[in-house]
Amino acid sequence: MPGSRGKAVVCVSGGLDSCVCAAIAASERDELYFLHADYGQRTQARERECFEHLARHFKAADRLVCELKHLGEIGGSSLTDKRIQVSEADLESGKIPTSYVPFRNAHFVTIAVSWAEVLEAKAVYIGAVEQDSSGYPDCRREFYDAFQRVIDLGTRPATRIKILTPLIGMKKSEIVRLGASLGAPFELTWSCYKSSDLACGTCDSCALRRRAFAEAGIADPIQYAV
């Protein structure tokens, strides 16, 4: 949204997509407020560390970390339930991987909108990707179109918060190229679903990231176990 200024809440997981989304928000807004969620995911500590680094890098005006332990207690995902094995990457399968956390992004966006309304911010940014991703249902364009209607109905008439998904129709390689052009600090991000020390290189998220950097012709600054 060229020319847009003012405040925005940015959902920042600490991963590649949220980093590039934050870089876009930084180019469009005067004040950024970074939101992160700890929900019992396997790599929670590493993601939190990346979030803090990114908040400093982008000079966030404020940051908020939400504890969503109920998502871990609900389970149903290999990210939150260690009894469920993290799927090995199969980028051509078309099936939703075990890493899908049921309706997770709805929780993130709801909190972001609550905070944005208090801040009198006009936008919430989230780095959802539909076209070249794991196929999570809460990363689809129609999901955010529907959520915009919920926001319009559920906030004060004068609020007018827009949910922005600038990456949703992009391929991962395009996201990498865009991030590089914006100076996004890829070295401060983490994508692995299994490990917090050395990226496994074999989970769905690692595979998507590695393919994206390879297709973009840009070196990935993180190391992989295999």
In this structure, what token pair is assigned to residue 65?
Answer: 């970390």
**Chain segment 137-186, per-residue pLDDT in tens:** 999 999 999 999 999 999 999 999 999 999 999 999 999 999 999 999 99
- Residue 5: predicted pLDDT: 87
Does the model's pTM come out above 0.85?
yes
Please answer whether residues 185 and 220 qualify as being in contact, where contact means their C-beta atoms are separated by less than 8 angstroms: no
**Chain segment 20-45, per-residue pLDDT in tens:** 999 999 999 999 999 999 999 999 99
Distance CA 162, CA 57 (A): 25
- Residue 2: predicted pLDDT: 46
Please answer whether residues 24 and 166 qualify as being in contact, where contact means their C-beta atoms are separated by less than 8 angstroms: yes
**Cβ-based burial of 131 (10 A; exposed 0-12, middle 13-18, buried ≥19):** middle
* Domains of the chain from N-terminus onward: 7-216 (3.40.50.620)
| pLDDT of 202 higher than 90 | yes
Distance CA 105, CA 53 (A): 22
**Chain segment 95-138, per-residue pLDDT in tens:** 888 999 999 999 999 999 999 999 999 999 999 999 877 789 99
